[in-house]
């Protein structure tokens, strides 16, 4: 029996794209086809001027329950190196558009690493997250060790990665791993609401916010503040800045066009 299409594209509105991982028979395990499909779709919609926000999601049972073990169980180091699946996640982190992960059910291993590539993570109350790679004789290799440590601190990250244990949405929120919790089954609905709120904002400002926040967290405070200052000054060359401030003074809703 042929496997169904592994990545579905949905358009709740012209300016929002939902990329849905669709491998229900294996809890949305991330095989090479899914990784390539996600990278290609994020590249395509990230370059589309009509799109202002991208959402990545899975099913109510699993965002993605990890990498596809069948693809790597008998691999040797050279094969793993040449496959270089990490490059597909780099495409996602480099996307100029804001990207939201809507997480329900399991987000484990590569699934959590994928979610950590997003700018915002909305998790359903029943979500279960974790990096259990150590339990199958490896370690997180898609950014998990580094991104988690930067979010929760070295000591807590060591505990979670060395034991491979799962943690729930409430703990993830308290640690700063997720941005917000939604009722179970409502993560995508809430993500679309947030995406619509972001899509109504000036696109150039949103792109600059994403760029300077991501660059600044790994720079010195002095350098990060310089990046912020330059980005702030650049906004005054945009039509949207003029529109936004005029609308404020005229007590009307602004219409931002990304110019």
Q: Which of 29, 104, 113, 124 is catalytic?
A: 113
Q: Which of 67, 102, 182, 195 is catalytic?
A: 67
Q: 151, 177 in Cβ contact below 8 A?
A: yes
Q: Which of 133, 157, 182, 195 is catalytic?
A: 133
Question: What kind and span of H or E run contains 111?
Answer: helix 110-116
Q: What's the start-to-end Cα distance of the chain, in Å?
A: 49
Cα–Cα distance for residue pair 100/57, rounded to 1 Å: 9
**CA atoms in the 13 A half-sphere facing the CB of 119:** 23
Q: Is 113 a catalytic residue?
A: yes
CB-based burial label for 150 (10 Å; 0-12, 13-18, 19+): middle
**Residue whose C-alpha is closest to residue 158's, from 183, 134, 188:** 134
Q: Which of 110, 124, 130, 142 is catalytic?
A: 110
Cα–Cα distance for residue pair 13/247, rounded to 1 Å: 25
Q: 144, 117 in Cβ contact below 8 A?
A: no
In the three-class reduction of DSSP (H, G, I as helix; E, B as strand; rest coil), residue 177 is classed as: coil
Q: Is 244 a catalytic residue?
A: no
Q: Is 110 a catalytic residue?
A: yes
**Residue whose C-alpha is closest to residue 59's, from 16, 130, 4:** 4
Greatest Cα pair distance in the chain:
66
Q: Is 133 a catalytic residue?
A: yes
Indicate which residues carry an active-site annotation.
67, 110, 113, 133
């Amino acid at each position: 029996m042929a496997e169904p299409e592994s990545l579905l594209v949905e358009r709740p509105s012209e300016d929002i794209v939902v990329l849905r991982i669709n491998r229900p028979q294996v809890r949305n395990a991330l095989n090479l086809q899914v990784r390539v499909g996600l990278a290609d779709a994020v590249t395509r919609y990230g370059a589309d001027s009509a799109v202002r926000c991208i959402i990545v999601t899975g099913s109510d049972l699993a965002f993605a329950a990890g990498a596809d073990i069948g693809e790597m169980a008998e691999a040797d180091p050279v094969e793993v190196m040449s496959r270089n699946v990490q490059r597909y996640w780099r495409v996602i982190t480099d996307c100029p558009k804001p990207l939201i992960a809507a997480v329900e059910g399991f987000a484990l291993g590569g699934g959590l690493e994928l979610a950590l590539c997003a700018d915002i993570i909305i998790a359903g109350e029943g979500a279960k997250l974790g990096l259990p790679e150590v339990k199958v004789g490896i370690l997180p290799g898609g950014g998990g060790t580094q991104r988690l440590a930067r979010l929760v601190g070295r000591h807590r990250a060591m505990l979670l990665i060395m034991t491979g244990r799962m943690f729930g949405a409430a703990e993830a929120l308290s640690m700063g791993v997720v941005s917000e919790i939604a009722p179970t089954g409502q993560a995508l609905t809430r993500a679309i609401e947030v995406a619509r709120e972001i899509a109504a904002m000036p696109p150039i400002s949103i792109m600059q916010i994403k760029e300077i926040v991501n660059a600044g967290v790994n720079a010195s405070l002095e350098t990060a503040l310089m990046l912020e200052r330059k980005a702030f000054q650049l906004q005054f060359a945009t039509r949207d800045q003029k529109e936004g401030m005029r609308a404020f003074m005229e007590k009307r809703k602004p219409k931002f066009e990304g110019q």
